[in-house]
Structure 1
Amino acid sequence: MAAVTGESLATLQEQLSETLAASELPVADELFGALDVLDSSAGLRRSLTDPAREAQERAGVVRGLFGAKARPATVTVLEAIASQRWSRERDLGDAVERLAVAVVAAQAEKDGLRGLESLESELLAFRRAVLSSHEVQRALTDSQAPAESKQKLAARLSPEAGAEARLLIDRAVSTPRGLRPEALVERFAERIAARQQRWIAQVTVAKELDAAHRQRLSASLDRYFGRELRLDVVVDPSVVGGIRVQVGDEVVDSTVATRLNELHRRLAG
């Protein structure tokens, strides 16, 4: 993340903290709708990220587009975003997405820590369900399939999801913004986890872990990474044996499949 964008995000989080905390789920839905408009118009993105234009002028463009269509809180958030400086055009849309997720998280947080943990768990459960089926992955990435069909499939995969998780999952399967749906859900879950000041460890193993093994692994990874982690365990028989762990950009891979591939590369070289 470039410095300018990082500073702008920090400013927005502070400036909008009360607005985000008080907003209801429809505000997040409207922010995602505004994101679709931004993603569909390169000219609009250029206009709202043009450093030669004054912040008030950029905010005025937002008011003209969304002022009569969206809730006041939605317009307040969009105006604040447009008033900031961004390193890249895409960062503008990424900021809208990030703050939409913040609204969803704030709604879940009204039930306390339990609400955030439930939201995180529901997102990760959906991700695991998608990763467990190649057929589901093909269906959710089929460019010819309508968004409504993908959302219906997602609902069957996550029947226990609450309103907050449902909104984020539907968003991920209908408009993944260049990512695979499960990857965008993972990004949403990571932002929910960060709100709880913890991180998600994506763990891939060849077979299911029992409770005792999972507890030992969790403690070992907490020590190794020096932070409290939430394990998201995916069973993938193709790894053959061993374990693969990813926390953010850091990867620890001790699977047999990886070692065999490395050996093949050395022999081929």
Structure 2
Amino acid sequence: MAGASSDSLATARQELDTVLVSGGTQLASELFTALAAVDSSAPLRRALTDPSWSVERRTGVVGSLFGSKVSEDALRVLKTLAGLKWSRTRDYGDSLEQLATTSVAASAERDGLDGLGRLSDELLSFNRAVQESHDLQRALTDPQAPASAKGNLAERLLGNGSAEAKLLVRQAVEAPRGHKPVDLIRGFVDTVAERQRLWIAEVTVARALAPAQQERLAAALKRLFGRDLKLDVAVDPELVGGIRVQVGDDVVDSSLQSRLHDLQRKMAG
């Protein structure tokens, strides 16, 4: 996904983060069901992405088709996507799939970084089991087998897996959308990893921090970001002084090097 579609997905993620975090697996299930409807109809995909149609007309299509069938939160997601610009008709569905996966990851995130780690491990373990067995690969991709039967088999492979893992694995084998299930699951793992980054503070300092300094920094970052963060500390003597912290896309930079660059830009401007 590139160009306008990439920008639109980023916008949707930002606008809908609160909805996706609170919605969890229930919201994700609704979005996956809506995705099946979108994937089954080329005219619908064109209607939701046609740049010659007004935003009101595109979101009106969403309301008429899904308004009585999904929750307000799911409808908001569908309408938000319909109001954005897409380079290809398929990109609407691809983005809907990613947002649904984000909602699943956010459900696991209620147990913090450990919850996200467990979900990643479950998905990767499932992939390893499938890749080690040709019989499983054939069973899970057999075009003659009912989708529900493949989903049931996938759930049995997970055993006592979490509700989040079961939902994503069932989605991957029942509606692979032209991909191999294991490839789709790798994409799900990437989405989970994006959520994990929000719990890790990448800290760069000019000199190594003493344990007491790390504790004070961890406490300060908790106040700033509202959650406990795992510190990943690296030493870079070229930083000159100060500290640089990155949590996801957020950067807190008080290094002398940064201030020197700012001064140079102002002098050059």
TM-score computed with the length of structure 1 as normaliser = 0.72
1:5 alignment counterpart: 5
2:24–2:107 CA contact under 8 A, matched in 1: yes
2:193 alignment counterpart: 193
Q: Letter of the 1:88 partner, please give it.
A: R
2:177 alignment counterpart: 177
Structure 1 portions without partners, runs of 5+: 199-269
Q: Letter of the 1:187 partner, please give it.
A: G
Instruction: Give matches, 1:206-225, under 5 Å.
Output: none
State whether structure 2 residue 145 is matched by structure 1 residue 142: no
Aligned counterparts of 1:36 and 1:46: Cα–Cα separation in 2: 15
Q: How many residues align?
A: 198
Aligned counterparts of 1:66 and 1:128: Cα–Cα separation in 2: 37
Compute the displacement of 1:22 (Å).
1.2
- Map Cα deviations across residues 17-68 of structure 1 (whole Å, 9 max, x no partner): 1111111312101101111111110001111111011112111110111110
Q: Letter of the 2:176 partner, please give it.
A: P
3-state DSSP of counterpart to 2:27: helix
Mean alpha-carbon deviation: is it higher for 92-101 or for 11-20? 11-20
1:253 alignment counterpart: none
Aligned counterparts of 1:72 and 1:109: Cα–Cα separation in 2: 22
Compute the displacement of 1:197 (Å).
2.7
- Map Cα deviations across residues 64-102 of structure 1 (whole Å, 9 max, x no partner): 111101011000000001100000001000010000001
Mean alpha-carbon deviation: is it higher for 14-23 or for 152-161? 152-161
Instruction: Give matches, 1:85-124, under 5 Å.
Output: 85-124=85-124
Aligned counterparts of 2:24 and 2:10: Cα–Cα separation in 1: 22
2:151–2:170 CA contact under 8 A, matched in 1: yes
Aligned counterparts of 1:39 and 1:47: Cα–Cα separation in 2: 13
Compute the displacement of 1:121 (Å).
0.6
2:125 alignment counterpart: 125
Aligned counterparts of 2:7 and 2:152: Cα–Cα separation in 1: 39
3-state DSSP of counterpart to 1:118: helix
1:37 alignment counterpart: 37
Aligned counterparts of 1:140 and 1:98: Cα–Cα separation in 2: 22
Instruction: Give matches, 1:6-21, under 5 Å.
Output: 6-21=6-21
1:46 alignment counterpart: 46
Aligned counterparts of 2:98 and 2:24: Cα–Cα separation in 1: 16
TM-score computed with the length of structure 2 as normaliser = 0.72
Compute the displacement of 1:156 (Å).
2.2
Bigger-Rg structure (1/2) = 2
Compute the displacement of 1:109 (Å).
0.6
Aligned counterparts of 1:13 and 1:2: Cα–Cα separation in 2: 15
Aligned counterparts of 1:115 and 1:60: Cα–Cα separation in 2: 38
Q: Letter of the 1:89 partner, please give it.
A: T
Aligned counterparts of 1:56 and 1:17: Cα–Cα separation in 2: 23
- Map Cα deviations across residues 121-144 of structure 1 (whole Å, 9 max, x no partner): 100010001001000000111001
Q: Percent identity?
A: 49
1:165 alignment counterpart: 165
Structure 2 portions without partners, runs of 5+: 199-269
Q: Letter of the 2:109 partner, please give it.
A: E
Aligned counterparts of 2:24 and 2:194: Cα–Cα separation in 1: 21
Compute the displacement of 1:160 (Å).
2.5
Q: Letter of the 1:98 partner, please give it.
A: Q
2:106–2:195 CA contact under 8 A, matched in 1: no
Aligned counterparts of 1:27 and 1:94: Cα–Cα separation in 2: 16
Aligned counterparts of 1:22 and 1:191: Cα–Cα separation in 2: 17
Q: Letter of the 1:85 partner, please give it.
A: K
2:82 alignment counterpart: 82
1:59 alignment counterpart: 59
Compute the displacement of 1:170 (Å).
0.4
